[in-house]
Every structure is written in structure tokens, then in C-alpha cells.
Amino acid sequence: MTHQVRLSDEELWSSITAGDQTAFGRLFDRYSRAVYNHAFRLTGSWSTAEDVTQVTFLVAWRRRGEARLVEGSALPWLLVVATNAVRSEWRSARRWLALLRRLPPERHDDGDLAEEVAARLDDERRVAQILAVVRRLSPAEREAVALCLWSGVSYPDAAVVLGISEVAVRSRVSRARNRLARLIPEEIKEETR
């Protein structure tokens, strides 16, 4: 039985920069779930989150020489790459929607849906409701919420990745929390009408 030593992100990234695919695989295993969850929270779609996770790690491999580890962790940088991938996805989706609006709608026969599909749709609906409220925040506040509140990135690490002071990150999160506290009850009232 072999015992595998857990390498630090810095050690892994050093190997990755040299082109070590096995080290990259270990980094993927370590952070793919966190990146996927972050992407789902931003998009409200399981399938889009899967696509964003793939794009994030593809970009990470291609830009491995440009990565900025934060206090020895690759996760904050990966989350920012994922956030940028989501923005690109939104731009693409807007273009596709404009094209699809020009096509006649398809007809479908509704069959039995599996429990997993139903659960996914419920999750997507709930996240869509939350995102509708979160989208009312400023882009800076949304970014701080996504990194610090949803994905658990510390304030100092978020500050480094975003290129702003820790005080600015804390201020954005605080403002976002205050606005969300006012906006969420309003959204709930609209749902019960």
C-alpha cells in the first residue's frame, strides 16, 4: 500500500507550470467541486456550471504561467477565472437567445421526468429566484458576495485576487448584505401574490 503525500498548491503549481499533467489532475481533484459550486451559484444552472468548470480548468492549464496564488492557494484565482467564464457564457447566451427568438418554437411530448431531473429543476428554480435578487446588486457587490459569502474565500484573499483593499471587500460585502436584507422580503411578497 502506497501512501501519497499531499502536496501544497504551490508545489503542485510549480509542477503544473513545468507541464506536469498529473499535478494538474491533482489540483483539479482538489478544487473542481468548489469551482463547480461557485459556478452554479452564479448561474443557477447545473449544466452551465459543468461547462464553466470545464472552461475554468482549461483556462487554468493554458494560463498556468500567469496564475496568482493567494497565500499559497490556487482556489481564489480559479474562482475569479470561473467568474470571468460565467460572464463570457452570459454574453454568448444573449447572442444565442437573440438567434433562437427568430426560430419557431419546437413541439415536445412531455414524458415522465426522473426524480433527479425534477430535483435539478427545483434547485435551478430556487437559485434563479436568489439570483434575481442578487442581480439587483452592483457588479462589485455581486462579485464580493460570490467570492466571500458563497464560496468562502477570505476577505484578505478576495482583496488580493480583486486587486482592492480588504476594507473595500468588507465594505462591499456589508453593503450587499444590507441591500439583500431589504430586497429578499420584497421578492418573497411578490411570489405569494
Residue-wise pLDDT for 141-161, tens only, equals: 988 888 888 888 899 988 988
The C-alpha angle with vertex 192 and arms to 187 and 193, in degrees rounded to 5, equals 100
The three cell numbers of residue 175 are 453593503
- Domain map of the chain by residue range? 9-102+119-192
pLDDT, residue 180, reads 84
- pLDDT confidence bin for 113, thresholds 50/70/90: low
- Amino acid letter, residue 183: L
Tell me the β-bridge partners of 70.
73
pLDDT, residue 107, reads 54
Per-residue model confidence as pLDDT tens digits over 72-112: 999 999 999 999 998 888 777 677 777 666 766 665 555 55
The three cell numbers of residue 63 are 494560463
Nearest Cα neighbor of 169 from 142, 151, 132, 131 is: 142
CA separation (Å) from 137 to 5, 96, 154, 164, 173? Answer: 43, 25, 20, 18, 11
- pLDDT confidence bin for 192, thresholds 50/70/90: very low
Q: Which residue has the cell 482549461?
A: 58
3-state SS, 76-141, equals: HHHHHHHHHHHHHHHHHHHHHHHHHCCCCCCCCCCCCCCHHHHHHHHHHHHHHHHHHHHCCCCHHH
pTM higher than 0.95, yes or no?
no
CATH class of 9-102+119-192: mainly alpha
The three cell numbers of residue 118 are 425534477
Average pLDDT taken over every residue of the chain: 83
- pLDDT confidence bin for 115, thresholds 50/70/90: confident
Indicate if the pLDDT at residue 27 is higher than 90: yes
